[in-house]
Copies of this chain bind each other. A is one copy, B any other.
Amino acid sequence: MSYTAPVKDMLFVINELAHLDRVSALPGFEDATADTAQAVLDEAAKFNADVIAPLNFEGDKNPSTWRDGEVVATPGFKEAFRQFGEGGWQGVVHPVEYGGQGLPKLLATPCIEMLNAANLSLALCPLLTDGAIEALLTAGTEAQKQAYVPKLISGEWTGTMNLTEPQAGSDLALVRTRAEPQGDGTYRVFGTKIFITWGEHDMAKNIVHLVLARTPNAPEGVKGISLFAVPKFLVNEDGSLGERNDVHCVSIEHKLGIKASPTAVLQFGDHGGAIGQLIGEENRGLEYMFIMMNAARFGVGVQGIAVAERAYQKAVAYAKDRVQSRPVDGSAKQSVAIIQHPDVRRMLLTMRALTEGARALAYVAAAHSDIAHRHADAAVQAEHQAIYEYLVPVVKGWSTELSIEVASLGVQVHGGMGFIEETGAAQYYRDARILTIYEGTTAIQANDLIGRKTLRDGGAVAKAILAQIDRTLGELEGCASFSSNPAYRSLHKRLTTGREALASAVEFMLANAKSDPNAVFAGGVPYLKLAGIVLVGWQFARALLVAEEKHAEDKSFYDSKIATAHFFADHVLPQAVALEASIVSAKNNEGMLALSEDQF
């Protein structure tokens, strides 16, 4: 059940694909050198392996428990979270002035991956706290920032996001929770919120709930939603904790996975009203929530990579250990470790290629975010921000979809043992299943990718990315290994086809969005998956260019990378053509809406 962070692959991506040197050239990131990266990742790897990972299986067996409104986390979690806070891990990416380390997102991302691989349930608490910090830093007053952010960064307090209500899931227009001004600058909040991750627990002294609610006479729909901070315990002027606020956890859910993470139903205002502070301006809550949400969406994408990595490691260990059947090529008379069998190889390489590829894309996205935040030139900022925003739904949607496939393959590699809970492989299969749902389902990500990220700028960013892929393809064709190494030729061929499929899908979206929105949105998830496959294929192509240059420095590592890229080219990239067919076929036929409801 152990976890060893893939520090070497992480550093390869950070340094060679995401170009840490360009990030550390940005103002304020001067300390984020390759040496820093190595030191931070080594430290994170050690902490997560020693302190966090051992609690993962325990959390599944002994989930958090609810009693009389109080939630007690799995034994060991409270102490581990204390060490997490004291170690400064909550603050890696946050500003130094509030107690953070002020490091780039590019270095925070591998830390988040490790924490999630070590323990998805526990990691959700910091993930939500990160979102609360982002929202407060963006929209809070200086007093609010001072009151909340340092405690959140130190791990003394934690944060939550309160969006969902029973009737309002993906559709936040239906939010009914209300906030009534008290005349003293505070509000009283009334309503029920569900699916609140770590909405109640005993790991921190206070919990800062960020809550979407409507003020009296607010416009209907999403334009009438405001954001409020509602702490579990009110905070006195001097920062000490005051009265218990009127927000109570009435139950927690019995879930398929991430069982150690308490998913709370929170009742606001049953005893007179929960005291809340408005964050930012009235009726702009959704906008602020999207800031949180975008950070959280990227984070959930990283969760997908994390659980995929953990499942891969476990499957590899089992496949090396389990002896069963002779080799099909007759190369041995005795039964061999199953890692020798071609289909087990196929499964392990699928898991590996998807995981490494998703990691590369996510870290590259993180570097774009860093440049967008810190570059001196506003035009460069805007360019990188646009690419980052295009990539976020892909990282979220694609990395989480593949995490289910990878975790499922992990079970399969274990055979019958995979179905036994004590083995541990099944936990990843259960845990991963939430990732394509929360923080916006894959369809919601796809809608975002189509609407805000592809159509709104007339496909400009999508085409800019396609042009970058073309340049990489040119470089690949021009390098010496192209003639000597079939991996290079295969990736070039399949990525060329994939790139054309993606270009065709973008054109389809642009051409039909107005005349046939149903056809366009029916192809949304296939478009997202197509983008994921092609953009990841592109990262493997870039990795081959690095391998071309540095192969002699570390032959075994680059041979592995080349073999993985080759596998991705032959076994994953060909799906691009099938996805394109699925997308464009929605046009000019009866469409998916042909059947009446009764016919289902």
> A-side interface residues toward B, CB under 8 Å?
164, 167, 169-171, 173-174, 194-195, 253-257, 316, 319-320, 323-325, 328-330, 335, 337, 339-346, 348-349, 352, 404, 408, 411-412, 415-416, 418-422, 426, 429-430, 433-434, 436-438, 441-443, 446-447, 486-487, 490, 494, 517-519, 521-522, 524-525, 556, 559-560, 563, 566-567, 570-571, 574-575, 577-578, 581-582, 585-586, 588-590, 592-595, 597-600
**Are A600's CB and B169's CB within 8 A?**
no
Nearest CB in chain B: distance from A167 CB, A? 8
Q: Which of A253, A330, A581 has the most CB of B within 10 A?
A: A581
Query: Which residues of B lie under 8 Å from residue A570 when comparing CB positions?
Result: 581-582, 585-586, 589
A342's contact among B337, B438, B575, B592, by CB below 8 Å, is which? B592
Knowing A426-B256, A518-B329, the reply to whether A443 touches B171 (Cβ < 8 A) is no
Nearest CB in chain B: distance from A263 CB, A? 8
Knowing A324-B170, A578-B578, A588-B486, the reply to whether A419 touches B257 (Cβ < 8 A) is yes
Copies per complex of this chain: 2
- Compute how far the CA of A589 lies from the CA of B597 in the bound complex, rounded to whole angstroms: 50
Knowing A589-B487, A590-B486, A600-B320, the reply to whether A420 touches B346 (Cβ < 8 A) is no
Closest to A570 in B: B585
**Are A567's CB and B592's CB within 8 A?**
yes
Query: Which residues of B lie under 8 Å from residue A582 when comparing CB positions?
Result: 570-571, 574
Query: Which residues of B lie under 8 Å from residue A337 when comparing CB positions?
Result: 597
Q: Which of A174, A195, A582 has the most CB of B within 10 A?
A: A582
Query: Which residues of B lie under 8 Å from residue A421 when comparing CB positions?
Result: 254-256
Nearest CB in chain B: distance from A224 CB, A? 15
Closest to A221 in B: B326
Query: Which residues of B lie under 8 Å from residue A429 when comparing CB positions?
Result: 256, 433
**Are A342's CB and B522's CB within 8 A?**
yes
Knowing A329-B517, A490-B585, A574-B582, the reply to whether A422 touches B254 (Cβ < 8 A) is yes
A346's contact among B335, B426, B517, B525, by CB below 8 Å, is which? B525
CB-defined A-B contacts under 8 Å, sample of 30? A167-B323, A170-B415, A171-B325, A174-B335, A316-B600, A319-B600, A328-B447, A337-B597, A342-B519, A343-B443, A343-B522, A343-B524, A345-B592, A346-B525, A346-B592, A349-B592, A411-B433, A412-B437, A412-B442, A429-B433, A487-B589, A494-B581, A566-B590, A570-B581, A570-B582, A571-B582, A574-B577, A574-B578, A574-B581, A575-B578
Knowing A426-B256, A524-B342, the reply to whether A195 touches B577 (Cβ < 8 A) is no
Closest to A316 in B: B600
Closest to A579 in B: B574
Q: Which of A195, A344, A434, A593 has the most CB of B within 10 A?
A: A593
Nearest CB in chain B: distance from A516 CB, A? 8
**Are B594's CB and A563's CB within 8 A?**
yes
**Are A345's CB and B433's CB within 8 A?**
no
